[in-house]
């Protein structure tokens, strides 16, 4: 699996690059993880409802082709795009989602933060039962048996734009970030740690967690 550190990229440019990569890949094309940050942007999933944007705060809104509802991306948030061949990895989408969540939970757990899934609401949340604020969001697109888009982890960012939306379509959903939970790493360090866990999760099955 190849890792690409892209720095800060425009959302539209990254999205188009993922589509180009996915259209061009062959059965033996290595899978890739793209690590990036985006300038401020709200993105609305393919079935996303515009009413989940509560007010105009001067941030562009982009309709995209991933699953899920509305979310916010901005500087200080780690974004990792997972360009994986599902068939070659013997994965179903639901298994991949659970694997992404497991990797985030392990990475944060090793740093001392307790997080968990929440049934029916993909992502990672504070607390042993996932009853707290959301710290990571997920959204995928599958094309020709391969995935693109991926996950975002709030690290050290301005969280105020989340107040202008129903995050991930859930009214009143609280969001948090690693800095506010006492974890000192920056986006680059978080990216290295989480990329290691994702490689472990999707490297052949031995370490895969359901």
pLDDT of 204: 58
- Please tell me the pTM assigned to this model: 0.95
* C-alpha pair distances (Å), 48 with each of 32, 43, 67, 146: 27, 9, 8, 22
The confidence score (pLDDT) of residue 210 equals 31
Pairing of strands 41-44, 61-63: parallel
Instruction: From 72, 81, 87, select the one nearest 100 (Cα to Cα).
Output: 81
What's residue 208's pLDDT? 39
Which residue out of 135, 168, 190, 198 is catalytically annotated? 168
Helix extents (H) in 32-180: 93-110
Is residue 146 part of the annotated active site? The answer reads no
User: Coil, helix or strand for 79?
Assistant: strand
CATH number of 2-201: 3.30.930.10
pLDDT reported for residue 123? 97
Task: Write down the pLDDT at residue 203.
Answer: 83
Q: Tokens 């307790």 label which residue?
A: 114
User: Which residue spans within the chain are E strands per DSSP?
Assistant: 2-8, 32-37, 41-44, 61-63, 70-73, 77-83, 115-116, 124-126, 134-143, 146-154
Tens place of pLDDT for every residue, the chain, 210 residues? 999 999 999 999 999 999 999 999 999 999 999 999 999 999 999 989 999 999 999 999 999 999 999 999 999 999 999 999 999 999 999 999 999 999 999 999 999 999 999 988 999 999 999 899 999 999 999 999 999 999 999 999 999 999 999 999 999 999 999 999 999 999 999 999 999 999 999 985 444 333
């Amino acid at each position: 699996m190849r890792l690409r550190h892209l720095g800060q990229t425009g959302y539209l440019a990254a999205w188009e690059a993922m589509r180009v990569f996915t259209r061009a890949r062959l059965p033996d094309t290595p899978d890739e993880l793209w690590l990036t940050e985006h300038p401020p942007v709200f993105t609305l999933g393919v079935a996303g409802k515009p009413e989940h944007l509560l007010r105009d705060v001067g941030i562009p809104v982009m309709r995209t082709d991933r699953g899920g509802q509305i979310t916010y991306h901005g500087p200080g948030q780690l974004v990792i795009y997972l360009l994986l061949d599902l068939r070659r990895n013997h994965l179903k989408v639901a298994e991949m989602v659970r694997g992404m969540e497991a990797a985030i939970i392990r990475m944060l757990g090793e740093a001392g933060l307790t997080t968990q899934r929440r049934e029916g609401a993909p992502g990672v949340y504070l607390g042993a039962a996932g009853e707290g604020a959301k710290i990571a969001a997920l959204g995928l697109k599958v094309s020709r048996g391969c995935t693109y888009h991926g996950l975002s982890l709030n690290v050290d960012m301005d969280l105020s734009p989340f107040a202008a939306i129903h995050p991930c379509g859930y009214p009143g959903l609280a969001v948090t970030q690693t800095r506010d939970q006492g974890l000192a790493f920056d986006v680059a360090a978080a990216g290295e740690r989480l990329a290691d866990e994702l490689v472990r999760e999707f490297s052949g099955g031995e370490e895969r967690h359901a």
